[in-house]
Structure 1
Amino acid sequence: MAVQRALISVFDKTGIVEFAKRLAARKIEILSTGGTAKLLREAGIAVRDVSDFTGWPEMLGGRVKTLHPKVHGGLLFRRGLAEDQKQAAEHGIAPIDLVVVNLYPFEATAAKSGLTAGELVENIDIGGPTMLRSAAKNFESVTVVTDPADFERVASEIESAGDTTLATRLGLAGKVFATTSRYDGVITTELERLSAGTGHVTLEAKPALPERVRIALGRQQELRYGENPHQAAALYVPEGRAPEGLAAAKQLQGKELSYNNLVDLEAARSLATEFKNPAAVIIKHNNPCGTAEQESLLDAYLKALACDPVSAFGGVLAFNRAVDAATAEEVAKLFVECIAAPGFADRAREIFAAKKNLRLLELPAGGLEPERQLQLKRILGGMLVQQPDLGEIQEHELRTVTKRAPTAQEMHTMRFAWKVSKHVKSNAIVFAKDGATMGVGAGQMSRVDSVKLAVMKAQSSLAGTVVASDAFFPFPDGVEEAAKAGATAVIQPGGSLRDADVIATADRLGLAMVFTGMRHFLH
């Protein structure tokens, strides 16, 4: 049967006027409510108010608009069932063949700070999901659209055949139940927070993890491949809110991104967020092989590169400032896979354009904010969930445990090295001097081996450097190796059963040592 009547009520009005005009051209009666009806009328489209269709006004401050038997009867009655047809006729129920509805943006509203419980509740859509579910249940007769991306297909099928195909209606019905399921899950999560007595807070600010974690992801981008070419991969983003961070970055040039590119870019981006002054980060296989914070971006890049120029070949770079021409000239001398930055000067773009395969990504506003969402890692049969490592140490929390206190310069450099160590795979050791890494030891099974690796990787003398360790030294040997290489100060969490031995060794070697009381394992 041809579509004769459509009900349109949308919050996101993208493309709705053009879609409704195509329906009106087919002489399809359009029912609508509130702001949607006003918009369509202003566009010259004939609209019948739902309140006129039902004979009941909107009431209770807009809470009741479409919750009426004439609406849901028109959606649910089975066109091919004689008894349904009889009852519909007896009660004056007219068929509604097409429903176009999208929902109040509850998730985006819930993410706002300072929201009251009342404001949160008023953004729970009742009529919209109810209409969607009624229409989707009766997909044999009713077409239901909740995504503007489906307007073209639906309009084209109606224009060519008077109605959509059963296959289209079935697919759209499935999309509806996925949408309402995700929507209900988000509401459940928010209400559970309220019932826990913590008030409305965002996931990242909650001190305890929620009882349930619900995730609905939509595929945004196919990737070249996964960690290896035989593995398929794609980038998925949370449904119902705008992409952010790397997911919202604009690729300015270069080949298609791979899974590994994005993993390394996120590692680089995340480390770059730690610094206020111009900083450069070079990542290789998800570990920093060079990091520096300097007065200029060019100096930061050159010092980061000097840490390990061999490993930097084929690496991924991130900057916390727009890349200028001078920096681009130097970067262009090295083969790198990707560069992420909040911007690129015109001349820098011209310089990089000569390297056709180089991927340039311009980070969006807010792209240099730390990750605050819950972190998930899959294991067979379950999912591990944790809060992100946002731990920061304040000056008053640092505790000097050796006879010699660090100098102001040593303390400044230790804080820099400590920030970097947080982003190095454990066991992590970072030698640093003058705002730059000098040697990085990552991912070793023993801490002393990470020290030895950092010393081996260093391209310059380590005399006068400081050392950061992401976790305590279990034995004095790591400190002895660091001192032998030329380090003068150490920053570490402390907490080992042998702390006294480690401190005594530092005193014997003339080192200054500071405990942070905070560990930064990264696996």
Structure 2
Amino acid sequence: MELRYGINPQQREATTAPVASGSRPVRVVNGSPSYINLLDALNSWQLVREASRVLGRPAAASFKHVSPAGAAVAGPVDEVTAGLYGVDRDRVGALTSAYLRARDADPKSSYGDFAAVSRPVDAELAELLSRVVCDGVIAPGFAPGTVATLSAKKRGRFLVMEADESFTPPSHEAREVYGVRLTQQRDDLPISPALLDDVVCGALTPAAAEDLLLGLAVLRYTQSNSVCYVRGGATLGIGAGQQSRVDCTRLAGAKTDTWWLRRHPAVRALAFRPGIRRQDRINWQIRFVEGDLTPDERARLSGALSVPAPDLTDEQRGEWLAELTGVAFASDGALPFRDNVDHAHRHGVTSIAEPGGSIRSTDVEDACREHGITLARTGLRLFHH
């Protein structure tokens, strides 16, 4: 398969070939992928396939730069998400609900994403994808007419890829870096409920267990270090690729707060002028929530609104954030210090899954007991690079 270019456009020569002759996990239906497009497609497909398998529901992911911006299984679409994307929340289909919930986790980052779904794309999802800023989609199939709908997007350059559900990957995988080939056994231990059997404190509810399992599936395909916050079958914040785990926890926690604050009545009441694009409305909502507008941003936001909006006060923020609870937190590696638990508690976390095995694991357990957080030790590290 010829690629448009490598990781960067100046890397003009880029190709891909199957490891085993005649055996490909994906095929290009429309468009011409780049190196990163293909990485996004291969990683996101594995994520949604595993999440759907372990939770028994359609799954979706919104990928950017080889990590998910959001992931979710099918479930209720709230009024905020439905309003932004112009769908009837009471009639939206399962597959579309999964993608909407995945995209709404971090809609600023999902601008120009690569979408992945675990079931064949139907007409409803194809219509939604045709009107959002998205660069491509991978799915195990496409309902009649949907490829034509998608292929018309981006002047015919929208990338449509089909995954082969029957494909079995090789037992070992390799990559070459600076003249050195690295080979390792594929990490094929399945994500399963058994990983949550070791509950060292608290009681794990079925809903929390499902959220933690989704979190573990997400982390397996997120650049490490990584953590994620999950609630109701959808990620709220993902922290990826940080050198310090607590920085991942704080970054993902800030995204979780932003997701929740976007539901605040004051944010929902922002009255945008006609003609303001969806993504601009989303970006302004996020900047309004973050509250550190520059003078230029403040002037431009004022121009985008038909009715002036007072800033959210610290008291309003605190009261609203205090209502967020029932959040699950998963970590791809052992929590090295209790500070991760202390920060997670600030963002409504009531259950945690982590491998355990840190020299300060007792401190982590003590922090969970102190905050009333259920702690499950998986014994499984899920680093991904």
* TM-score class normalised by the smaller sequence: 0.7 to 0.9
1:409 CA drift (Å): 1.4
Matched, 1:488 2:265: no
Structure showing greater relative contact order (alpha-carbon pairs closer than 8 Å, 6 or more residues apart): 2
Give the match for residue 450 of structure 1.
248
Matched, 1:508 2:370: yes
Give the match for residue 358 of structure 1.
158
List per-residue Cα deviations over 1:416-450 (Å, max 9, x = no partner): 11111111111111111111111100011111110
Which of 313, 316, 328 does residue 111 from structure 2 map onto?
313
1:240 CA drift (Å): 6.4
1:365 CA drift (Å): 4.8
Give the match for residue 460 of structure 1.
259
Whole-Å separation in 2 of the counterparts to 1:364 and 1:491? 31
CA contact under 8 A between 1:402 and 1:506: conserved in structure 2?
no
Give the match for residue 223 of structure 1.
3
Matched, 1:469 2:331: yes
List per-residue Cα deviations over 1:187-237 (Å, max 9, x = no partner): xxxxxxxxxxxxxxxxxxxxxxxxxxxxxxxxxx32211111111333332
TM-score of the aligned structures, taking structure 2 as reference length: 0.73
Which 10-residue stretch deviates more, 385-394 or 414-423? 385-394
Whole-Å separation in 2 of the counterparts to 1:352 and 1:321? 16
Give the match for residue 212 of structure 1.
none
Alpha carbon RMSD of aligned pairs, Å?
1.9
Mark the CA change 1:381 to 1:228 in structure 2 (over 3 Å): closer, same or farther: closer
Whole-Å separation in 2 of the counterparts to 1:328 and 1:520? 33
In the alignment, residue 442 of structure 1 is paired with which amino acid? A
CA contact under 8 A between 1:282 and 1:305: conserved in structure 2?
yes
Gaps of 5+ in 1: 1-220
1:402 CA drift (Å): 3.8
In the alignment, residue 36 of structure 2 is paired with which amino acid? N
**SS of corresponding position for 2:326:** coil
Which of 51, 54, 72 does residue 292 from structure 1 map onto?
72
Runs of 4+ aligned residues of structure 1 deviating over 6 Å after TM superposition are none
In the alignment, residue 278 of structure 1 is paired with which amino acid? P
In the alignment, residue 350 of structure 2 is paired with which amino acid? T
Matched, 1:253 2:30: yes
Matched, 1:439 2:216: no
Whole-Å separation in 2 of the counterparts to 1:396 and 1:358? 40
List per-residue Cα deviations over 1:152-184 (Å, max 9, x = no partner): xxxxxxxxxxxxxxxxxxxxxxxxxxxxxxxxx
Which of 233, 241, 246 does residue 21 from structure 2 map onto?
241
Give the match for residue 343 of structure 1.
141
CA contact under 8 A between 2:201 and 2:376: conserved in structure 1?
no
Whole-Å separation in 2 of the counterparts to 1:339 and 1:233? 24
Give the 5 Å matches for 1:101-180: none
In the alignment, residue 235 of structure 1 is paired with which amino acid? T
**SS of corresponding position for 1:455:** helix
In the alignment, residue 460 of structure 1 is paired with which amino acid? W
List per-residue Cα deviations over 1:254-303 (Å, max 9, x = no partner): 3x221111111111112122023211111100000111111610110111
In the alignment, residue 476 of structure 1 is paired with which amino acid? R
CA contact under 8 A between 2:191 and 2:217: conserved in structure 1?
no
Larger radius of gyration: 1
**SS of corresponding position for 2:17:** strand
1:404 CA drift (Å): 1.2
List per-residue Cα deviations over 1:320-359 (Å, max 9, x = no partner): 1111111122222212111111222224234323312211
